[in-house]
Amino acid sequence: VTRSFTPKLGGYAAIAAVGLLAALVLRLPELVGLAAPFAFVPALGLVLSRPPALDVEASLERDRAVEGDELDASLSLRALRGCADLDVLLELPRALTVVDGDDPISLRLGDGEVRKLRARLRCNRWGAYDVGRVFLRGRDAFGLVSWEWRADRRAPLKVYPTEEEVRELLVPRDTQVYSGNHVARERGEGIEFADLRPFVPGDRVRHVNWRASARRGDLWVNEQHPERNADVILFVDTFVEASRAGRSTLDLALRASTSLAARYLRQKDRVGFVTFGGMLNWLLPSTGAAQMYRMIDSLLDTRIVLNYAWKDIEVLPRRTLPSHAVVIALTPLLDDRAVSALLDLRVRGFDLLVVELSPAPFLPTPKGDVQVTGRKFWELRRDALRGRFREVGVPVAVWDDEHGLSTALEEVTAFRRFARVASA
Amino acid sequence: VAAHRESAIVAGLAAGSWALLVVALLTRWTVVGTLSLLVFGAEYAVFLRLGHGGVDTRAPFLAAALIVAAELAFSAMRPPPGGVDVSLVRAALVRLALLALGAVAVGELTLVVAGSVRSGLLEEGLGVAAAVAALAIVAVLASRTRETA
């Protein structure tokens, strides 16, 4: 507890001193009457003052929420020794705002009194937060002495990003060995018809295509594509971000990551992620609901950390990028290190898809000929960059305000349908 | 002409006091607030010097008004809280009323004591000692509060 005297004590003492002195010098008893209360109040206040003693409890309605959700924060104050004037502030991160209730609030607590305060909070932005640090400032009845202290009752609050609408997922080029929902390119036991071939000893009779066999006079069997799962790696570029008015490309990346992860995991695919930037973070691919929670919890810690060191894909552990995995890169394409790493991945034979989180909506409107021309050059350079990816068979879909994530993914699907994907 | 000039000084001090108070409230600078109250006291002292010579019986009421003004001014100069509980406002109003009454009582008592005591070197010495003692008590209490709190 930090104790201090308020400026009021000094002010009153000064008025009393000057008033009494002036009364003596000027021989005016009225000034004594005028100054005496200013000496009397501090004397009385200091005699009666005593430090408050409180039990503080803070709690949140729940520890998980989605962007835009509202939840209650409760504060319970029990006064072992009351306080005539108490300021209470529940420290909130910038992403949380009070929509109902007062924070900070000033109140009076008598001895033994219990007060419960409630504030309705809105979660404006995804992230992992600690909420519950309470700052208190008590004053004596005359406001002459103040005591400041804080109660740390922090509890974690995870705010998940909202999911983007994803109509159709990207189909991976290669599949893994476990059963799943993707039609594999290989042939084997499955549902999707692949081809016909002559019967060989050991083939099951139920695979014989009797119509084809009758036509050709020999036994022919059907071949199928098996349904397999895939490994999906979400590659989030966290070198730099473009942001404006509380929104940023990183928000888009996180939103897309969680939406895609949820959808792929529902399809029994193994999903992992890599955040590649100033700080490296990864999660090995796995499947199931637990992986979803692990992934979101890890993604919530994603931050842009400025770093000037050159980083390439070699810094990533080998197991984070399994062979035959489809790598979906979510990047604003603003940092050369990320671009270089992605091209490196493609060269190494990964099935790479780039979803460009367009920084254009976050830029100010160009004013004047110079800025307009500059913007055009910038857009041309970005087009050229996209061209570099397309040249090596990597589709680049732009996700901006005009085009939703679904549209961007459909662009990628269309590119892959009509372009021949080079295999490493 | 002299009376007119002295009235102008009183009016000037009053205007200065109000101006300082406005500045203090706008800037939340408590030193200026204190200064404005002191200037008001100076204005009253000049007013008394220009007066009829008898003891001004309105002084206790003026003291009550001044302490109420000071309490309100210092409250207004505090950083604004987000919300204020009703119980706090109620307690502040009661405290303000009690302070005003107390100021009247203290003022009246002071005037009675001042009127009944003969003037002399000894009495003046006692007055000085009482003033110093009053301020010393405040200082001692303040230091004790700092140690024990």
Confidence band, pLDDT 50/70/90 cuts, at residue B147? very low
Beta carbons of B141 and A46 less than 8 Å apart: yes
Alpha carbon distance B137, A376 (integer Å)? 77
Beta strands, E only, A13-63: 53-60
Mean pLDDT of B18-42: 89
- Counting as low any pLDDT under 70, the low residues of chain A are 401, 419-424
- pLDDT at site A142: 87
Alpha carbon distance A395, A383 (integer Å)? 13
- pLDDT at site B142: 61
Which positions ≥6 away from A344 have C-beta within 8 Å? Answer: A312, A313
Q: What value does the mean pLDDT of chain A take?
A: 86
- pLDDT at site B148: 45
Instruction: Determine contact: A92 vs chain B, CB below 8 A.
Output: no
Of the candidates B34, B84, B119, the beta carbon closest to that of A106 is on: B84
> Which A residues 131-150 touch B at CB under 8 Å?
141-143, 145, 147
Alpha carbon distance A161, A62 (integer Å)? 16
Amino acid letter at B77?
Answer: M
- pLDDT at site B52: 61
Of the candidates B63, B77, B142, the beta carbon closest to that of A9 is on: B142
Nearest CA in chain B to A101: B83
State yes or no: ipTM above 0.85: no
Phi first, then psi: give them for residue B3, nearest 5 degrees: -60, -40
Which residues in chain B are contacts of A35 at CB distance < 8 A? 41
Residue B149 has pLDDT above 70, yes or no: no
Cβ contact A310:A274 at 8 Å: no
Which residues in chain A are contacts of B46 at CB distance < 8 A? none
Alpha carbon distance A299, A363 (integer Å)? 25
Q: Who wins on pLDDT, A147 or B53?
A: A147
Min Cα distance B1 → chain A (Å) is: 23
Mean pLDDT of B75-81: 79
Nearest CA in chain A to B30: A7
- pLDDT at site B120: 66
Of the candidates B44, B131, B149, the beta carbon closest to that of A51 is on: B149
Of the candidates A26, A39, A105, the beta carbon closest to that of B138 is on: A39
The lowest-confidence range among A110-114, A389-393, B120-124, B127-131 is: B120-124
Alpha carbon distance A351, A235 (integer Å)? 12
The pair of three-digit structure tokens given for residue B133, joined into one six-digit string: 């003692």
Of the candidates B100, B14, B41, B31, the residue with the CA atom closest to the CA atom of residue A23: B41
- pLDDT at site B118: 59
Min Cα distance A128 → chain B (Å) is: 26
Beta carbons of A38 and B70 less than 8 Å apart: yes
Alpha carbon distance A28, B106 (integer Å)? 16
Place of tokens 């290669």: A174
Helix and strand totals (H; E) in chain A: 8, 22
Cα dihedral across residues B95, B101, B107, B113: positive or negative: negative
Q: What angle do CA B133, B136, B137 make, to 5 degrees?
A: 85
- pLDDT at site A424: 46
- pLDDT at site A135: 92
Phi first, then psi: give them for residue B63, nearest 5 degrees: -60, -40
